[in-house]
Amino acid sequence: EAQVTQNPRYLITVTGKKLTVTCSQNMNHEYMSWYRQDPGLGLRQIYYSMNVEVTDKGDVPEGYKVSRKEKRNFPLILESPSPNQTSLYFCASTAYPGQPNTEAFFGQGTRLTVV
């Protein structure tokens, strides 16, 4: 089954404690990205990756890092989480980054709370 898998689904952590949210896709997609979803602000792109070892900032990259060492994995790293990073996070993957009409597949989301 084609899917994007995020872990964990829920996470409560304390300010400053480094954490990683994992994302893995089994569709051999080249393009992967991270979004955060906040009430009243919708979904905003954090980082994206066009392929292995190619990553770039989205609209709200501050406080986040990513890596793309393998095609299937695209972890999101919060080196020093702060309460304003409390949010619902989604990982997404898309085939054929040069074709804007292709569908994005989303993970089930990670609800992060930073206290």
Binding site for other proteins (CB under 8 A): 4, 31, 33, 35, 40-45, 48, 50, 56, 58-59, 90, 92, 94, 97-98, 100-104, 106-109
Rounded to 5 degrees, φ, ψ at 94 are -145, 140
Least separation in angstroms between residue 22's CB and other proteins is 15
CB 84 to other proteins: min, Å: 19
CB nearer other proteins, residue 85 or residue 90? 90
Q: Give min distance, CB of 87 to other proteins, in A.
A: 14
Q: Is the Cβ of residue 85 or residue 93 nearer to other proteins in the bound state?
A: 93
| E strand intervals along the chain | 4-7, 10-13, 19-25, 31-38, 42-51, 54-57, 65-66, 76-78, 87-94, 104-106, 110-114
The set of residues, in sequence order, having a beta carbon less than 8 Å from that of 103 and lying 6+ positions away, is: 94
